[in-house]
Amino acid sequence: MGRIILARHGEDEDNAAKILNGRRDKPLTLKGLSQAVGLARKVQEAGLKIGYIFSSELVRAQQSAVICATMLEVPHLALDFLIERSHGILEGCNYSDIPLLAKSWREAYGFTYVVEVEGGEGYLELCERAVDVLCKLKAKILEMQIEGDVLVISHGAISRAMTVVHQGLTHEDIFNAPSFTNCEFRILE
């Protein structure tokens, strides 16, 4: 089995408007489409041997994945378990609403992170889900007998959580892990 390479989707309409999207399903902007092309080029330049691309079912991740799959000439499959973290009542709200509506939040790396919000997924639950997601990814790779590395295009929070748990850290360590920028990739080693 090759390596798992995590990437965040390109900029979508909510990202551009500084709106918390979580599980909202908004398409990529023109900038996001360009970022996805850039992601495929960076993967090629890095010499990564991608055998398959998995993505979240949300349109912003699928659009990014289709562009990369086309450019890299590999198959793509959307998986429901790669869904982003739910931001509960904050989904669709401006970032500036976080201190007003979240039960708790935290500043790190120049971002305001929602720690706890009504109806949202907390970091403990997110990291527990990330363990399950990694297990499901590895099982899918083995089941499909995929040769080479697998590029997983999903979302910032779930990718950050997968990175943290892969490193043997806990949900309390998630604030020490930098966020994924749009179309940034990281190799799980």
Could you state, in order of their start, the residue ranges of all structural domains in the chain? 4-188
Residue pair 159/67 in contact (Cβ under 8 Å)? The answer is: no
- CA 7 to chain CA centroid, Å, is 6
> pLDDT tens across 13-70, in order?
999 999 999 999 999 999 999 999 999 999 999 999 999 999 999 999 999 999 999 9
CA 124 → CA 24, 85, 127, 128, distances in Å?
22, 11, 5, 6
Q: Does the domain spanning 4-188 belong to CATH 3.40.30.10?
A: no
- CA 59 to chain CA centroid, Å, is 13
Return d(Cα 10, Cα 33) in angstroms, integer. 6
> pLDDT tens across 53-68, in order?
999 999 999 999 999 9
Chain length of the chain: 189
